């Protein structure tokens, strides 16, 4: 499935490039994109809550990633900070 803002030609080139990459490189890129997405989420939390410490930013990020039920199961005593 291609993104709505991607032309057919660009999608074709992207598929070709992904196929040429070895599995190690694809995993490396996936990990980097995941790290980038987390950093973007952290930046959003910091922008919405400039008073949060880094520990509070991390807790808010974990809550976003896990959802309230799992977050509460893993960290039962942690505050449910606004995200």
Is residue 83, in this structure, part of any structural domain at all? no
**pTM for the model:** 0.78
* 12 inside domain: yes
Q: In the prediction, which pLDDT does 32 show?
A: 98
Within-domain flag for 40: yes
Closest CA to 58 of 28, 77, 81, 26: 81
Residue 3 lies in a domain: no
Residue 44 belongs to some domain of the structure: yes
Cβ-based neighbour number of residue 45 at 10 Å: 22
What domain range includes position 33?
8-74
CA atoms within 13 A on the CB side of 11: 8
Cβ 37 vs Cβ 57: under 8 Å? no
Residue 2 lies in a domain: no
* Overall number of domains in the chain: 1
Confidence category of residue 72, pLDDT binned at 50, 70, 90: very high
Token digits for 42?
């952290």
Q: Is residue 49 part of a domain?
A: yes
The total number of residues written for the chain in this structure: 83
82 located within any domain: no
């Amino acid at each position: 499935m291609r993104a709505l803002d991607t032309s057919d030609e660009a999608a074709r080139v992207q598929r070709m490039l992904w196929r040429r990459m070895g599995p190690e490189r694809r995993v490396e890129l996936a990990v980097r994109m995941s790290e980038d997405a987390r950093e973007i989420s952290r930046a959003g939390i910091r922008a919405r809550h400039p008073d949060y410490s880094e520990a509070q930013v991390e807790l808010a990020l974990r809550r976003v990633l896990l959802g309230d039920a799992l977050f509460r199961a893993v960290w039962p005593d942690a505050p449910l900070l606004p995200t």
